[in-house]
Structure 1
Amino acid sequence: MTSTLTNCDHILSIPDLIAKKRDGLELNTDEIQQFIAGLSNGDVQDCHVGAMLMAIFIKGMTEKEICSMTTSMRDSGERLHWSQFRGSVVDKHSTGGIGDKISIPLAPALAACQLKVPMMSGRGLGITGGTLDKLESMPGYQTQLTDKQITELISTVGCGIFSQSVKLNPADRYLYSIRDVTATVPSTALIVSSILSKKSVEDVDALVLDVKFGSSAFMKTAEQAENLAHWLYKVSEMLGMRTCCYITEMNNPIGYCIGNAIEIEESIDLMKYKPGHSKDLEDLVCEQGGRLLVLTQKVNTIDEGREMLRETFKNGSALRKFHDMIIAQGVCETIAKQLISDDDNAIGSILKLSDMKYQAISSETGFIQAIDSLKLGTIVQRLGGGRLKSTDKLDFSVGIRLLKHVGDSVEKNEPWAILYAGHDASHHYPKFLDDFNGSLTVSASPVVPLQRIYKIMGST
C-alpha cells in the first residue's frame, strides 16, 4: 500500500511530496508535520527520509518551512517544562570546535549565578570532540537521565549536562542518523532545525549560539557562518527564545588542551582559577555566560555579566556547583572531591593520560602565528580520542597539551606542545609525528594575540 499525506486541499503520496521539494516548491506546515509524524508511525521509510533530506539539501527551505520543521521535530516527543523557573532557564550551543570545552565550566558558573541550565549536549562528530564524551572520562558520570532525574537535577543543583533521551525529540535523533550517512549534514536548513528543535525542547528563556568558522569548523568562511547564524537567530526568536549568536574563529584550538580527560582537567583548572589557566577559555566562557545574564535581565550590561561569571571562578562557587552536578550524575563522592582538590596527583590518577608522550619542537625562532587545529584534531581522533565510526570505543587518555598559543614567542628547538598517545600510535596513524610537528606556523615579526569573536548578532 502506498503511504499518503493529507492536507486541507488534496492527498499527496510520499514520493510526490519528495518531488515537490525536489522541484523547489514550498512544503506547507501540514505536510511537514505529517512527514515528521510518519517517522514514528511507519508511514515514512528510510529511503523516503534519505530522498527528502537530499532534496532539502539541494533546494533549501524557506523561513516558514524551517520554523515548521523545527516545531514538528520538537513536538515529536516529550518536552521539558520549567514554569516554576520562568525567566531564568538558559542554555548555550556550539557548532563544534577543537578544544571547545566551554559548556563544562559554563553550566556550573551560570547555576552559581542562580540561573537554571538544562544542557542537552552531544557526542563527538568527526574531529570535533563531544561534551558528553569528555564528561564520561570521569568514572561514573551518567549522561542518560530520565525526565524525573533531569527535573530533580535542575531543581536542586541548578545545572546538568546530559544526552538527548529517546523520549525527547526522537525525530531529530532519527533524522540525524540518516543525515550522517547521506552526506546531508552541512545543510543550513537541517542544521538550524536540528539545533533549535533540541533547544526548544529544553523550554529555555534565553540562548547563546556559538557559530564557528575556519579550517576545522563545518563552516569554512565567516560568510558561511554569518548566514547560518542569521537563520539560527531568526528562527529561535520566532520560537520565543531570546537569542544571541556569536561568530567565532576556529582555525586555532581553544585553550591549551585537546582531548577528553585532558579537557576536563583544563575546565577544572579554570573553575579553580588556577594560576596559568587558559585566558582564551576564560574570556569565551565569561563572554557567553555574561550575555545570558543580560538576556535574562539579571544584569544590565555585558561588562557586569562577564564579571559576575568570573567571580564564580574566583570565589569557588562554580567549582562547588560542578562538584554537586557530577555527583548527581553518578560520580561517587570520593572521586568528585578528589577532582576539585588541589592534589594534582589524585586528579591525574582519575583523569589518566597516556604515559607515551611526544614533544613537538619549533624549527625556528619567532612568534607563533597559527596552530593548525584541523591537523591536531585529526591526530587526536585517529589515535583513538575521537571516533572514525559511531561504534568506536574512545581512548580518554589520548590528548594534546599546548605549551604555547598564538602570539607567544618561541625559540628554535623549543617544545611547544605535548602529545599523549597510545603505544601503537604509529599503527593507527603512521604520519602522526609529521603532522604534529608540522602544525605550527611561526612569524619573524610579532603577532597580534588571537581574536576569537568575529561578530555578534542578535539580542543585546
Structure 2
Amino acid sequence: MSVRTSSIIEHDHYSSIPDLIAKKRDGYELDPNEIKQFISGLTNGDVQDCHVGAMLMAMFIQGMSEREICSMTMSMRDSGERLQWPKYRGSVVDKHSTGGIGDKISIPLAPALAACHLKVPMMAGRGLGITGGTLDKLESMPGYQTQLKDEQITELISTVGCGIFSQSLELNPADRYLYAIRDVTATVPHHALIVSSILSKKSIEDLDALVLDVKYGASAFMKTTEQAEILAEWLYKVSELLGMKTCCYVTEMNNPIGFCIGNAIEIEESLDLMKYKINRSKDLEELVCEQGGRLLLLINKVQTIEQGREMIRETFQNGSALEKFRDMIIAQGVSKTIAEQLISNDDKIVNSILKLAHKHHHALASQTGFIQSIDSYKLGTIVQRLGGGRLKSTAKIDHSIGIRLLKHVGDEIQENEPWALLYANDNAANHYPKFLDDFHTAVQISSTPVAPLQRIHKILS
C-alpha cells in the first residue's frame, strides 16, 4: 500500500504521540524526527503500551515507505549502545537466517570465517515456534554463556575473532519492546516491521558485510517463494541504504537442513563438519561454504564466489575452523577440558558430554523407492512438543531431544528400512502415541528416481 508523503495537518517532531498515531492511521508518511520521537518514547516512558499497539497496527495496515523503514531501523539501532570496530574496518561480517528446521549454519560458519581472519560479532537468537535457536543449541555444551558484557564481546572478537552471543539489555532495547507488543497484537508478519527488527539488530554490530537467508516453505515464516522474495528485496534494499554490503538468499525450507534436528544433536552435526568427517552432512557443508564464500567476496577477500567457497572449505579440511570453535567456546565459559573433549575424534566422549536422550524409536519406510520429501514441519513440531523447543517463552529446553535423519531427498530406500531415528526421554514416552504417526508419515517415497534437493531459489546481490 502506498504512503502519502504530505499531510493536511502540519506535523513536527513536537507533536504528541496520539497525533503521530493519527497521522500514520490516516496514511501519511512519518518523517525521521517523528519516528525518532516515537522510538525514543519507548525508552523514556513517553510511549505507553496502548500507543505502541495502535502505532504498530497503523503501520501494519497503511504500510511504510523506504524512508520510514530506514528511519525506524536507525532509531531502533540507536535506542541503546552499539558495537564499534574501527580497528577492523573492512573485515567485520555476519549472517542472519529467518529460521528453519535443522538450520545450524551459524555454528560452523562463524569459526570458519574467523579462521579466514575475519571478525564475526554474531548476535543470535533463541527458537521461535518450531524453529530451532542457535543460542539454545550452543547451550547444550556445559558452561556455554550467551549473555556477555560489552567488554567481554570486545575481548572475544579481538582475540578469537568470533563470538555467538545474545542481545544484551543495553543493545537495541526498542526492538525487544516492540517485538513483545507485536507478538500480542497480530503484527509480527509484516515485511516493514520484520525488516526494521532484523536490520536494527544487525546494524548494531557495525558490519562491513551481511548475508541474509530468507526461507520459504511449510516450516518457514514465509510460506511461499513470492512472500520470501518480497521480504528479501526489502531487506536487500534497506541494507544497502544503511551502508551495509549485503547479499540475500531465498532458500527452500520444506525439508530439514542436514541430518539432525534438535539442540545437542545439531552441535554434534556441526562438530562433524568442522572435523571434516567422512559422514558429514554434504548439504550443510555446501550452504556454509556458499554463505561464507559470499561474505568473503562481498569484502573483496576473494575474486570469485568459487574461491570463497573453497577458502571456507579449507578451514574445515585443515582444522583451523575447529580450533577457532574451541577457542570461542572456552572464551564463552566452556571449560578447557570439555572443549578439548568436544573437538576430539572420540565419539563416545563427545556423546557423553552432549547426552542425547536414551529412548530411541525408528521410522521405517512403507515401500521401496526414492526419498521424495521429508516434512520439516512435522519433524520440527515433534521435537518441540517433546521438549526440544518451547511452547511458551519461559519453558526450559530439553537439549537431549532430537531426530537423526538416516536418508536425504533423492536417496534410495528399501521397504522397512529405517529413514530416521527419534531420541526422547522416559518422561516423554506418554506423548509417543500422538507423534509416532506424524513421525512415520513425515516422508514421501517415490517409485521413480528423485533429483537431489536444490536449496537456493534466488540470490539478490
Q: Fold conserved (TM > 0.5)?
A: yes
Give 1:171 shift. Answer: 0.6
* Residues 12-51 of structure 1 aligned to structure 2 (within 5 Å): 12-51=15-54
* Residues 77-116 of structure 1 aligned to structure 2 (within 5 Å): 77-116=80-119
Q: 1:203 aligned to 197, 202, 206, which one?
A: 206
Q: For the Cα contact (< 8 Å) 1:406–1:447, is it kept in 2? A: yes
Letter in 2 for 1:248: T
* Residues 22-421 of structure 1 aligned to structure 2 (within 5 Å): 22-421=25-424
Give 1:109 shift. Answer: 0.1
Q: Deviations over 1:221-269 (max 9, x none)?
A: 1111110000000000111100000000000000000000000000000
Distance 1:181 1:134 in 2: 26
Please give the secondary structure, in 2, of the residue aligned with 1:413.
coil
* Matched pairs, number: 452
State which drifts further: 34-43 or 15-24.
15-24
State which drifts further: 18-27 or 79-88.
18-27
Distance 2:216 2:404 in 1: 23
Letter in 1 for 2:356: L
Letter in 2 for 1:221: T
State which drifts further: 52-61 or 9-18.
9-18
Distance 2:46 2:287 in 1: 45
Q: For the Cα contact (< 8 Å) 1:20–1:27, is it kept in 2? A: yes
Letter in 2 for 1:28: D
**TM-score, with length taken from structure 2:** 0.96
Q: Deviations over 1:299-337 (max 9, x none)?
A: 000000000000000000000000000000000000000
1:445 corresponding residue in structure 2: 448
Q: For the Cα contact (< 8 Å) 1:371–1:440, is it kept in 2? A: yes
| CA shift in 2, pair 1:109/1:9, >3 Å | closer
Distance 2:179 2:433 in 1: 32
State which drifts further: 282-291 or 38-47.
38-47
Give 1:19 shift. Answer: 2.4
| CA shift in 2, pair 1:9/1:196, >3 Å | closer
| CA shift in 2, pair 1:271/1:44, >3 Å | same
| CA shift in 2, pair 1:304/1:10, >3 Å | closer
State which drifts further: 355-364 or 50-59.
50-59
Distance 2:449 2:23 in 1: 56
Q: For the Cα contact (< 8 Å) 1:382–1:429, is it kept in 2? A: no
Give 1:24 shift. Answer: 2.1
Q: Deviations over 1:74-99 (max 9, x none)?
A: 00011011010000000000000000
Letter in 2 for 1:154: I
1:4 corresponding residue in structure 2: none
Distance 1:63 1:182 in 2: 23
Q: For the Cα contact (< 8 Å) 2:60–2:187, is it kept in 1? A: yes
Distance 2:224 2:217 in 1: 6
Please give the secondary structure, in 2, of the residue aligned with 1:47.
helix
Q: For the Cα contact (< 8 Å) 1:354–1:397, is it kept in 2? A: yes
Q: For the Cα contact (< 8 Å) 1:98–1:253, is it kept in 2? A: yes
Distance 1:113 1:426 in 2: 45
Give 1:426 shift. Answer: 4.8
| CA shift in 2, pair 1:283/1:332, >3 Å | same
| CA shift in 2, pair 1:32/1:429, >3 Å | farther
Please give the secondary structure, in 1, of the residue aligned with 2:95.
strand
Distance 1:119 1:9 in 2: 37
Distance 2:14 2:90 in 1: 43
Distance 1:9 1:154 in 2: 42
Distance 2:190 2:48 in 1: 21
Q: For the Cα contact (< 8 Å) 2:217–2:224, is it kept in 1? A: yes
Letter in 2 for 1:160: G
State which drifts further: 427-436 or 266-275.
427-436
Please give the secondary structure, in 2, of the residue aligned with 1:211.
strand
Give 1:423 shift. Answer: 1.6
Give 1:180 shift. Answer: 1.7
Distance 1:257 1:300 in 2: 34
Q: Deviations over 1:176-210 (max 9, x none)?
A: 11112222111111110011001100000000000
| CA shift in 2, pair 1:429/1:63, >3 Å | farther
Letter in 2 for 1:284: L
Letter in 1 for 2:190: S
Segments of 5+ residues of structure 2 without an aligned counterpart are: 1-9
Letter in 1 for 2:108: P
Segments of 5+ residues of structure 1 without an aligned counterpart are: 1-6
Q: Give the aligned CA root-mean-square deviation in angstroms.
A: 1.1
**TM-score, with length taken from structure 1:** 0.97
Distance 1:18 1:428 in 2: 47
Q: Deviations over 1:9-62 (max 9, x none)?
A: 474332232222222221111111010000011010111112211222222211
Please give the secondary structure, in 2, of the residue aligned with 1:418.
strand
